[in-house]
Structures are given as C-alpha cells and as structure tokens.
Amino acid sequence: MLLKKAQAFEVRPAGVADIPALIAMRRAMFVSMGHTEEAVLAAMVEASTAYFHQALPAGEFRGWVAEAGGQIVGCGGLVVHRIPPTTYNLDGRVGYIMNMYTLPEWRRRGVARAIMAAMLSWLQAQGVSVATLHATPQGRPLYEQFGFAPTNEMRVLLTE
C-alpha cells in the first residue's frame, strides 16, 4: 500500500493581500451551510470586502490563513469585543471566532486544528479569557476537542 506524503502547510496571520482568499473562503463557507441565493451572496461578498479592507488593517478583525505551496488552503478569524464584566470574565473581553473554512481537498489534515490553535494562543497572549463561536455540525467535534461547550445563547434576527 502506498501512502501519500502529507503536503506541509504553514499557518500565519492574514494580511491585506489575503483578503481575496478570505472573501472566497467566506463565500464558500456560506454556500456549504446552504446559503445559495446568488444575489444575497454577491451582496455579502461586497459588504465583506469593504469590511475586511477597513477592519483587518485596523486590527478590529484578526485573520489567520494556512498556506501550502503559495495557495491559501484554510482560514479562520476573530473579533475581540468587550461586554460588562461577569463572574467568570472580569475584564469583559470576549474573542468571537468565525470564518473557519478549509478547502475540501485539505480537510482532515490538521489545517483547521492548526488555525484554531494559533487563534486561541493569540487570544491567551492578549489576556482574553473567553472565546465563543458558532459551530457547524462538521466543526463541532474539533471545537469540543479544544474545550468549547454548548451554552444557553439564543438569537433573533431583527430584519425581514
């Protein structure tokens, strides 16, 4: 039996030059979750492009990419926001993790795990003690391995 040698990848912080890849993967992420209406996707791409060009250089959004052979094969990002202090989070800072996506041909190779580890390490280095995310069924087992657990969060969409 021949075993394919796993191609190496490197995880690094995303820069402005990575925005097109972040946008393409964000779109693919939404499509994989069943959001397929082209007009809605196009509007999201346009709004996300403007957002990332403002928020990434400003440090409001932090992204990480996995790169192999000059190709971005996975990504993830986070936003740190502040809420009033709680009994378990006295400074109120919360890291909200989002935009986790790995190209299908790169799944099950440790890409998402490496990106998540880099993001959690960065949050810890900043003194952020709480991280949250919204999990897809496919991502849930990985997040649970990092210690994420379901909470009592609820949501209502205030738009039509």
Residue 152, in any domain of the structure: no
Residue 111, in any domain of the structure: yes
Beta strand 130-133 with 93-102 is: parallel
Q: Which amino acid is at 17?
A: A
Q: What is the CATH number of the domain that holds 56?
A: 3.40.630.30
C-alpha 46/C-alpha 23 separation (Å) is 9
What does the pLDDT profile of the chain (160 residues) look like in tens digits?
444 445 699 999 999 999 999 999 999 999 999 999 999 999 999 999 999 999 999 999 999 999 999 999 999 999 999 999 999 999 999 999 999 999 999 999 999 999 999 999 999 999 999 999 999 999 999 999 999 999 998 889 898 6
pTM here is 0.91
Range of the domain at 38: 10-145
Beta strand 62-68 with 93-102 is: unpaired
